[in-house]
Amino acid sequence: MSPATVSQLATRYGVQASEEEVAARYRYDDFLGFIEAFKWATSFLRTPDDYALIARGLAEQLLAQNVIYAEATISAGVMLWRKQDIEKNITAINQAARQYESRGLHLRWIPDVVRQFGGEDAIEVARRCAGLQSEGVVAFGMGGDELALPASDYRPAFDIARDAGLHIVVHAGEIGGPSSVIEAIDVLGAERIGHGIAVARDPALIERLAASRIPLEVCPTSNLRTGALAGQIGRPTATMADHPIAKLVAAGVNVTISTDDPAMFEADLISEYVHAASLGLAPKQLAQIAEASFAAAFLPAREKNSLLETFHAALPTSGLI
């Protein structure tokens, strides 16, 4: 949600918040600060029309970056917490996004639960999302504070989602340690790991992920801004130079590059690739990471291959090869 969009939504509900004021709320340097800003900004998402508005904003931002496919997280757990109609909201989001397919952008959705809200809420969200594949839902995820409650509390919810044919994504190893990643895989059946930077601390886990090819969705700017990176390296502060993405790539881990919440971290996919380059990844490696993101997508092989053909056709003019 960009500052302009939040300002527009706030006005709808009688709250005056300029773009500058919203941008100021987006300046924080720890995970708690991010959570508080997220709660405030999303408090102005109240109807399906509000969600359609931010879906259109997202689509325009992605098109401006030459993105042709994305799987975006939807905070369905927050919708439930606010007693909203999850199904109607996701339908509105998907209908708004489908208008952009004629312009070359295809979007799919990963509704997720909030870890600190508990297992019972997660079960309810899973039940509501289990039948939404026709609205572009491809997976079920979990974000929030990974230290709040054990992964085992959420196994029933993930079992419901998996039985309904949804793929599984879990944020782990962001502020938690390597054991959090192991639990996400072994207990919840994660097929992709959100963030996962704690993997760099555990040589055995690096070897396991390199062999299994389970992808990590690495978000460098988010890791820096939330203080997660500083926590992983055991220092009060960190810089982008401390990020382990190059170490993970060199070890053969299946790394993809993502943005987390781009507006709230003042980042986009292009800037994240620039950061990766600044950390020593060569153009060819960046091209391979981009290619790996298509391979990691939760799509049938035919659709993946079609997207890869489009990507490969544009690659010679990208400067990456």
Catalytic positions: 174
Sheet strands side by side (includes 192-195): 69-74, 106-114, 139-143, 167-172, 192-195, 216-218, 255-257
Q: Dihedral sign for Cα 136, 192, 157, 159, please.
A: positive
Residues 111 and 90 sit within 8 Å (Cβ to Cβ): yes
What are the start-end ranges of the E strands in 37-191?
69-74, 106-114, 139-143, 167-172
Taking the C-alpha atoms of 181, 288, 297 and 270 in order, what is their torsion angle to the nearest 10 degrees?
90
Element (H, E) at 255: strand 255-257
